[in-house]
Structure 1
């Protein structure tokens, strides 16, 4: 892809002028209007792909329930665990239990005073694990005081000091844990707005951050509880923000990258990457399919030596969750890669089902377009790979008196095959079902 140096300088100057997205800003919440039935739940008026509807399980209107629901996990009894970020300040997060029966939602707060909790997942030992900002801990929903820290000393990336504070993780088939450690800044600039270089003139922030770490699984202890090595190895580096990760049944590891946060609405593109051990994916030197950002010497930037994305995603779409659908309700989606786009700009507020190959790779095409709000589309770079598939939520833009622009984060496939969605900006839990 060819991008002029003049345009790249515009990107950087906008960033230096403070033109980056205010990630901590929380707009006023808007209520979802409901009309009719969506497979047993009140149907929102959000425009969905043919044959699907978006049901409203719950939306916060008072003091009950999570402030900022981010991820969900269905338990064996049909209740749900929900991670509540609380706010972008430490100590205000929580884990809640949601009992949702007969279009009624009841909340029980299980653990409070957490710092930006995010991922909830079941481990190889059958226990529940939760990622907090600086640690991963075991958790028993029936006895919340049981458990303990299993991964400690993750970087304490406060958002107001840095940029990417959330921990996230996935389990590999052998039980090893792949853990996101986000970049502590947007483009590795110092307080004067210049590249933050180390003695080798490389980004000084890359040594232990902006990567996915691997913690080896040591197997169960005498009580059958999982153990992980306290030491880690870099699995994949040069990654700005890897909260959206998924392991395909074939064993391949996939990540959706939130690219650098510059003010040009058409650049840079977000990404889908196949993560492989030892690969470097370019942050903060390269964007898109290999465009070098100015300010770094060519010997350091070396975009040709770094791993390019498997596919681009729309600019500023902000992918925050990824999974491979395996439910029964939507046979046409089985094996597809679902990605939530949380971004509040014109390409965000959507959930896409990406067509995939047998090993989970996105099916791509060139000369493709992506949809924008309020209507229309924009072209991807003509020679760049773009994901093929369909938008499940093609009309989730803001409609006065009907619904807000969507801000989907976590997704989970329920036992009945419906797709549950946590929407943090408007404090809602939603459910995609057959219409």
Structure 2
């Protein structure tokens, strides 16, 4: 079943046209917001967004990635430019808080410390609001399985006060797994939690079998959800990207199994024995079109004017129709977007709908590619883009 954009939208995007209702259609708690064209303040661009939305570029940043908010309102943004940025309300000015090698993709504050996840290490520095830092203030808390391929490391502070980290396997079919007898460097593909109960902090598997999970978000009942980037060797249409409910111990199958048309299918690109059988694979909560590259993820508070439970950022990949290679017509590439997800009462099934589109034109040219997303206590949504008009953006609804 396709999600139908309201008639007031003059351009039906390829992403919306290809969007299928995932898994189970759930009753909407509110009508979908009518969409309209919105001028993006601070740029010459326009986007399609819910009626009453206001979007503005707040500040330019160099290749920004994930965003976190501290308890005191300070914002931290990692980047591919070896920089961790700090911003304070109204978030229209950014400081280079610290420069760190090895891709500081994400940073979070916990108490009087700032933690940064690079590709191969979790780093910590003593920190208080407004403090200045340099690279020498950081020390390694725990090594992270590093290496090439998917090299982003997403850090999240759980409601239990523990640190959670997501990381992907190296490629489409890499024999890597969070658990079993796999060597440390091959313990990739899922979410880990830092065990600090012993003399030395150590990573423990939390959920496994995810090719490249990037966005992490916590529901108010303490359940973790994760976005996952699926493989690209199946072509342009399969498998669909997945949003999962990452309850501890869950196995999502990859790279040995893929979720195809509502069923678990064996992926013959890897011939090693899977660590768990197909019957152990947990179905996703919702799906997005293949090659959409889901990134940031955030829950919205109850009653938020956008009328959805989650925002999932789609970065858009380089794949083109019909084969999925990069050599086809750029106009067929999946569009970057901010998507909304409405969950059913128990949070196991979701309905997906477009919230903000228009980052890509009819010829496939992209003026921005959103990555990170977070919601502030005043219902304001902030998101980053790491290509084109790079920087931090603000989305509000209403006066």
Instruction: Report the TM-score, using the length of structure 2 for normalisation.
Output: 0.73
Name the CA shift for 1:342/1:37 in 2 (closer, same or farther; >3 Å): closer
1:1-45 deviation line (CA, Å, top 9, x unaligned): xxxxxxxxxxxxxxxxxxxxxxxxxxxxxxxxx98686xx66841
Shift of residue 325, structure 1, vs aligned partner: 1.0
CA RMSD of aligned residues (A): 3.5
| Equivalent position to 1:310, from 285, 288, 295 | 285
Q: Indicate which of 333, 357, 367 corresponds to 1:394.
A: 357
Counterpart of 2:138 (choices 129, 148, 153) is: 148
Do structure 1's residue 73 and structure 2's residue 68 form an aligned pair? yes
SS of the counterpart of 1:304? Answer: helix
- 2:66 alignment partner, SS class: strand
Name the counterpart of 1:348.
335
The correspondence for 1:293, drawn from 262, 267, 277, is 267
Q: Give the 3 Å change call, closer, same or farther, for CA 43–359 of structure 1 in structure 2.
A: farther
Q: What's the offset of the Cα at 1:423? A: 0.1
Task: State yes or no: 1:174 paired with 2:174.
Answer: no
Contact 1:337 1:362 in 2 (8 A): no
Task: Find the counterpart in structure 2 of residue 333 from structure 1.
Answer: 307
Q: How does 1:8-407 map to 2 (within 5 A)?
A: 44-59=45-60, 66-74=61-69, 80-86=75-81, 93-98=82-87, 105-123=92-110, 125=111, 127-139=113-125, 140=127, 141-145=130-134, 148-149=138-139, 151-157=141-147, 162-188=148-174, 207-218=186-197, 230-262=201-233, 264-288=235-259, 289-296=263-270, 300=274, 302-326=277-301, 330-333=304-307, 336-344=309-317, 346-363=333-350, 388-398=351-361, 404-407=366-369
Aligned to 1:390, the other structure's residue is in SS state: strand
Instruction: Pick from 421, 427, 430 the counterpart of residue 383 of structure 2.
Output: 421
Name the CA shift for 1:76/1:230 in 2 (closer, same or farther; >3 Å). Answer: closer
Shift of 1:143: 2.5
TM-score normalised per structure 1: 0.67
Q: State the number of aligned residues.
A: 336
Rounded Cα–Cα distance in structure 1 between residues aligned with 2:220 and 2:211: 25
| Greater alpha carbon shift after TM alignment, 348-357 vs 135-144 | 135-144
Residues 179-206 of structure 1, C-alpha deviations (whole Å, 9 max, x = no match): 1132122212xxxxxxx699xxx99999
Report the CA distance shift for 1:348/1:290 in structure 2 as closer, same or farther (over 3 A): farther
Larger radius of gyration: 1
- The Cα of 1:136 is off from its aligned counterpart by 2.2
The separation in 1 between residues aligned to 2:185 and 2:279, in whole angstroms, is 19
Question: Quick one: distance in 2 between partners of 1:118 and 1:432?
Answer: 22
Are the counterparts in 2 of residues 286 and 293 from structure 1 also a CA contact under 8 Å? yes
Q: In structure 1, list runs of 5 or more residues that go unmatched.
A: 1-33, 60-65, 87-92, 189-195, 219-226, 364-387
Q: Which residue of 2 aligns with 1:434?
A: 397
Q: Is the 8 A contact 1:137 1:150 kept in 2?
A: yes
* SS of the residue 1:331 aligns to: coil
